[in-house]
Amino acid sequence: MFEKTSEMKKQVDSHLFSEPYTPKREKVKWNVRTSSCGMVHRIAYTDVLRGNDYDERVLLFQAPFMLIKDACQFIFNVMNGNIRDMVLSNEHSCRRRNGKCYWRVAVRIVDLNEQFISFSEFVILLIAHIKRICNCKVRHYRPDTFINL
């Protein structure tokens, strides 16, 4: 009996992560230039270098995981082989000022074809798609400012 419940839990979890991100847009007017409600999310991001030789480029987001997953999956499909992999992971982000821990999403970009698109243009493309998916404000911060937001 215990095995059936764990299998059911795995099926439910995989079902939750397989659906696309859908923001709450009940009060947004599509025919008017400005929306009647505030932004659904305020997203912060920064880019850092990691690895032994500081050769891995990583984007850190304070945003919902499903939103970043959908945006990265779309961009990965659009890039059509010009990027080898995009690895997403949740990380702890502990704040110094209040001592609380929050989650941030790390997106590691593996082997971006720099001759096709530069890293800064790739980030602009990803941010534009995130803005298209949901009603949000995306802001770039320096790494030292991002850590203590």
Range(s) of the domain holding residue 79: 2-147
- What is the tens place of the pLDDT at every residue in 8-23? 444 444 444 555 666 5
- What is the tens place of the pLDDT at every residue in 34-79? 444 455 678 889 999 888 888 889 999 998 888 899 999 999 999 8
- Give the model's pLDDT for residue 137: 85
CA atoms within 13 A on the CB side of 59: 24
- Residue 41 near residue 87 (C-beta atoms within 8 A): no
CB count within 10 Å of CB 126 equals: 22
Q: pTM of the predicted model, to two decimals?
A: 0.71
Q: Mapping DSSP to helix (H, G, I), strand (E, B) and coil, where does residue 146 land?
A: helix
**How many separate domains does the chain show?**
1
- What is the tens place of the pLDDT at every residue in 113-140? 999 999 999 999 999 999 888 878 899 9
Length of the chain counted residue by residue? 149
